[in-house]
Chain A
Amino acid sequence: MESLYITHVCKIQSQQIILNDKVVFEDVESADLNSFLKNGYKNQAYDYAKFFKMDHLSKLTFLAAEPILQDQDDKNIALVFMNRAASLDTDVKHQQSIQNKEAYYPSPAVFVYTLPNICLGELSIKHKLQTENCFFVSENFDSKLMYNYAEYLIRHKNVDKVLCGWIDVLENEYRAVVYLVEKQGEIEHSRNELEQIFI
């Protein structure tokens, strides 16, 4: 059985966007996460107005995945993501809108993001990926599950590539690590290698 490979790793942490070990954007001065995300978007001159309707989780997902997906012609890319906080960052906002009975205005644009898998939907829509999707929640990155699930999809479900990631955000704490698994490459897709990426 031939190996699969990890190609392309994009990380977002400590106000940096790092693609394949190279810092492509840095914004030490942004006051908060919202500004950092907006500046990250503008820096890459993306042309996707829907970005501004997204919540933090989807914006972070977009900025971490786009550098990898924008160069992919293949549409047969499955999406498998994981995080700890699920959609809590947005859940808190929805809760705030219903906390005060005198000013009770729940917003559908906020509520739709109170599910963590929406970030997968956003990527699917932008890149027309009619493919396998799955969102897992876990206290920490579960390399065993991610390794096995990505392998299964390529080996048994006619999937060409799998975009995998850990995208976590809660209030101003965030971390995104996204990587592509495919049939050709140099770095072997293995649990060890995955754990190296996450250090």
Chain B
Amino acid sequence: MENLKTELKEKIIDVLNLEDIAVADIQDTDALFGDGLGLDSIDALELIVLLDKDYGIKLTDPKEGKVIFQSINTMAEYITTHRTK
């Protein structure tokens, strides 16, 4: 799962336009929302698009996002279980 976690960090930096952040700056357990990386509601919606586009996962209930996107770890686990791409 390590490759996936690195890949996720790269994609998040790219898709969310996090200009001054490098892969090394994001710890696997860091909170992505709130105080950690400080992502907001539009970022959450973008991550839902990312799940669909890159991993073929369609979230039926966007509220699930709150749990899935807590950290890189939770995202990687969810994707590993549910990916269709």
Taking Cβ atoms with an 8 Å cutoff, the residues of A that contact B are 49, 51-53, 105-109, 112
Contact = CB atoms under 8 A, between A and B. Distances in A.
Nearest to B41: A108
B19 A108 contact: no
A51 B19 CA distance: 9
B53 interface: yes
B20 A49 contact: yes
Given A108-B42, A109-B42, A112-B42, A52 B18 contact: yes
Contacts of B19: 49, 51-52
Contacts of B43: 109
Contacts of B53: 105
Contacts, number: 27
Q: How extensive is the interface on chain B, given as a class?
A: 10 to 19
Contacts of A109: 16-17, 42-43, 45-46
Interface in B31-54: 42-43, 45-46, 49, 52-53
Contacts of B17: 52-53, 109
Contacts of A106: 49
A107 B49 contact: yes
A106 to B, nearest CB: 8
Contacts of A51: 19
A105 B49 CA distance: 7
B18 A107 contact: no
B35 to A, nearest CB: 15
A7 B18 CA distance: 35
16 contacts: A49-B20, A51-B19, A52-B17, A52-B18, A52-B19, A53-B42, A105-B49, A105-B52, A107-B49, A108-B42, A108-B45, A109-B16, A109-B17, A109-B42, A109-B43, A112-B42
